[in-house]
């Protein structure tokens, strides 16, 4: 059986489950039935494990497996339901432990004059990212000292990209996830300083399982997500689609502010394109996209017709589309005379080339990116 076909079927099932929470039971049953037919109705533990792996890499285990377990239980497929229950239990235990540690890290840093805002990691709630990502304006030397003294944390090896981005990764004993802290800059080369003040000033508090956290505002979440997906990794996770679609559906996004913020950072075309891709993907599963203003749609450069599913994610083509977005970002720096950050960004192709060579020679690009 073709592995890529299996993965595509799995992605379709997960998408159906997480993008249509209000779908009728009959429609959801139909989606599961199509998946079962692909497996000739004989689902093995390996099949569930493969589905779990894809759901984990896309940060949707809890949002997808909870309704799927209910469907299997309603059809008295107790064996499959039990496998899903175990997967849910493992993920809930991981998340609870990570939340407890994250709260301690945030409170300790705050108490030592290093206030932090959580970015990316909690956007997927009730799921959780694979790293714990934070942003701070604090001095990096103080940050490192506090993490080492309070948590006996060790610094992970810093790549060239980490140094340019002014990003620090901490290994905390007893915590499987890395604590990744962006200090004063965002973006692959640390070129983005226009949006960092917004991240710090507009952060809001959320209460998750009796834990209080400072998280980025909706507009800043979209900008940061765009930076990560359209300008760095060039792939989109299913959780990114679900998270950002929910923000728009709940009418939490000030699109005028988002455009102003994105334009100031040279990212507006990428943001608009990202939102249109999300909307078109959502429309495929629930029959309607997310409600976007006309000026967002008009600014988008391409849609899902240019995106393909490969290696567990929706891949954004680097040539020519991502290169054009990169060129637009670089042009915005040069036009406003921001030569320092423009120079940082101009190093990105060199990093990409070095990373590609490193990957070819050693099988890993960790020392570069």
- Burial group, residue 6, by CB count within 10 angstroms (0-12, 13-18, 19+): middle
- Dihedral Cα 105, 108, 112, 117, nearest 10 deg: 50
Arithmetic mean of pLDDT over the chain: 93
Q: Identify the band that residue 29 occupies on the pLDDT scale cut at 50, 70 and 90.
A: confident
- Tell me, what's the pLDDT at 355? 64
Confidence label for 362 from pLDDT (cuts 50, 70 and 90): low
**Pairing outcome for strands 179-183 and 132-136:** parallel
pLDDT at 121 (0 to 100): 96
pLDDT cut 70: percent of the chain above it: 93
φ, ψ of residue 190 to 5 degrees: the values are 70, 20
79-88 pLDDT tens trace: 999 999 999 9
User: Is residue 103 within 8 Å of residue 52, measured between CB atoms?
Assistant: no
Of 22-36, 123-137, 196-210, 280-294, the range with the lowest mean pLDDT is 22-36
Given a cut of 50, whether residue 2 has pLDDT beyond it is no
Query: Over pLDDT 90: what percentage of the chain?
Result: 83
Q: How far is CA 36 from CA 24, 25, 26, 49, 77, in A?
A: 19, 16, 15, 15, 12
**DSSP summary character for residue 158:** P
Q: What is the SS3 assignment for 177?
A: coil
Residue 18: pLDDT over 90: yes
- State yes or no: pLDDT of 1 exceeds 50: no
User: What is the predicted pLDDT for the residue at 22?
Assistant: 67
pLDDT of the residue at 40: 77
The region of weakest confidence among 23-32, 329-338, 339-348 is: 23-32
pLDDT, average across residues 208-223? 97
Check whether 177 has a pLDDT greater than 70. yes
pLDDT-based confidence at 246, cuts 50/70/90? very high
Cα–Cα distance, 341 to 337 (Å, whole number): 9
Q: Please, which pLDDT band fits residue 33 given cuts at 50, 70 and 90?
A: confident
């Amino acid at each position: 059986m073709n592995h890529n076909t299996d993965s595509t079927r799995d992605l379709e099932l997960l998408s159906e489950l997480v993008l249509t929470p209000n779908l009728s039971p009959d429609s959801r049953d139909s989606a599961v039935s199509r998946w079962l037919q692909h497996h000739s109705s004989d689902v093995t533990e390996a099949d569930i494990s493969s589905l779990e792996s894809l759901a984990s890499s896309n940060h949707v285990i809890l949002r997808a497996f909870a309704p799927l377990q209910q469907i299997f239980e309603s059809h008295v497929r107790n064996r499959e339901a039990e496998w899903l229950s175990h997967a849910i239990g493992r993920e809930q235990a991981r998340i609870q432990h990570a939340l407890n540690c994250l709260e301690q890290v945030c409170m300790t840093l705050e108490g030592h004059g290093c206030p932090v805002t959580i970015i990316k990691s909690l956007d997927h709630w009730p799921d959780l990212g694979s790293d714990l990502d934070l942003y701070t304006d604090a001095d990096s030397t103080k940050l490192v000292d506090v993490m080492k003294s309070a948590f006996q944390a060790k610094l992970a090896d810093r790549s060239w990209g980490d140094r340019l981005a002014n990003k620090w990764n901490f290994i905390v004993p007893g915590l499987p996830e890395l604590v990744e802290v962006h200090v004063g800059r965002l973006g692959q080369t640390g070129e983005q300083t226009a949006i960092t003040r917004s991240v710090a000033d507009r952060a809001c508090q959320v209460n998750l399982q009796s834990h209080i956290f400072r998280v980025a505002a909706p507009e800043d979440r979209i900008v940061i997500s765009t930076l990560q997906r359209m300008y760095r990794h060039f792939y989109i996770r299913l959780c990114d689609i679900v998270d950002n679609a929910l923000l728009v559906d709940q009418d939490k996004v000030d699109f005028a502010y988002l455009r102003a913020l994105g334009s100031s950072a040279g990212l507006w075309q990428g943001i608009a394109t990202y939102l249109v891709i999300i909307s078109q993907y959502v429309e495929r599963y629930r029959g309607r996209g997310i409600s976007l203003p006309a000026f967002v749609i008009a600014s988008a450069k391409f849609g899902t017709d240019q995106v393909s599913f490969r290696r567990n994610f929706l891949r954004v083509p680097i040539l020519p589309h991502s290169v054009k977005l990169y060129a637009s970002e670089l042009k915005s720096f040069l036009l406003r005379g921001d030569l320092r950050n423009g120079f940082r960004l101009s190093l990105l192709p060199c990093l990409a080339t070095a990373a590609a060579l490193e990957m070819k020679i050693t099988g890993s690009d960790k020392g570069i990116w």
